[in-house]
Structure formats: structure tokens, C-alpha cells
Structure 1
């Protein structure tokens, strides 16, 4: 059965999440203090690991990873702390799926 599931990401560079095989990433966004992915899944499919990268604006992206952009998320709060900067702008994170090593590296 096809269903939409929500996965919560950590605000860290690399992470692995198990999802049903063939899962389709729909979008990334914020829910409260969480960075989330919404994914269309076949909940009867066996699970497989998928790798993701969350990078803040200005962070250097790893040159060895081939990345597929998913979305940009504005976060006014993280881990119970207000992270709005001195200019009253939220932190901005960019979510990618790591799809393999970069070609030629």
C-alpha cells in the first residue's frame, strides 16, 4: 500500500535512514524544531538504507559525494534553542540525498 511517511532528520552533516525500497522523496520542510522529509513509500516493501546530508548555508559540501538536492528548510529553532541570528533571520539548511561517490573523484 502506498503511504506518505514523515522522517525526522538530525541537523548534522551525514546520516543514514532505513526506508522501504523504492521510496520516493517528496519534499523537505520544518515542523516545529525538526527538519523533516516527506516520503511516498510502499509500506510492504523491504527496508533499505538511504544516506542524507544536511548542510547549513555557507557550509562546505563534501567534494567526494554525489548529491541530489531535495529542498531548503528555514529553522527558527533547533534542539530547544532559538537559533535566529542577530539580524532576526532563521538558520537555513539544505537537504540532499547522497547517491554515491562523485564521478572522477
Structure 2
């Protein structure tokens, strides 16, 4: 069965999220203070690890742009407003 599922990314630069194989990420943004991504998933597919990176506005980007897929942007407030840009590492 195909559904839309939400995944919460930890508030750290790089993270690994387990999701069904073939999941198609459709959006990433702030939701109630968390960085969230939504994906269309097949609930019967085997699980795989996918890797994500959060970059702040103005932060040096370590990877080559070809290895990053932009997913979205989240404004997070932790003492001050921080714009977090959400990428998947490929």
C-alpha cells in the first residue's frame, strides 16, 4: 500500500533515517519546531537507510553540489531564528 508518511530529522548536521526502499520525498519544512520531511512510501517495501544534511544559511557546504538534493527549508527558533536548508546526500 502506498501512503504519505512523515519523518522527523534530528537537529544535527547529518542524520540517517530508515525508510522504505523507493520512498519519494515530496516536501521538507518546519513543523512545530521540528525539521520534518514527507515522502510517498510503499509500506510493503524493505527498509533502507537514507542520509540527510542540514545546512544553516551562510554555512560552508562540505559536499560537492552534485551529491546534494535539495528537499526544503525550515525556520527553527533556538534562542534566535535559524534558516535550515534540508538536503539528501546521494
**Do the aligned residues in 2 keep the contact of 1:21 with 1:45 (CA within 8 Å)?**
yes
Whole-Å Cα distance in 1 between the matches of residues 3 and 37 of structure 2? 14
| Offset at residue 12 of structure 1 (A) | 1.2
Q: Does 1:83 align with 2:79?
A: yes
What 5-or-longer segments of structure 2 have no aligned partner?
none
Matches within 5 A, 1:1-105: 1-63=1-63, 66-76=67-77, 82-84=78-80, 90-99=81-90
From the CA coordinates, give the structure whose radius of gyration is larger: 1
RMSD (CA atoms) = 1.4
Runs of at least 4 residues of structure 1 off by over 4 A? none
| Offset at residue 64 of structure 1 (A) | 5.2
TM-score normalised per structure 2 = 0.90
Q: How many residues align?
A: 89
TM-score normalised per structure 1 = 0.78
What 5-or-longer segments of structure 1 have no aligned partner?
77-81, 85-89, 100-105
Whole-Å Cα distance in 2 between the matches of residues 11 and 47 of structure 1? 22
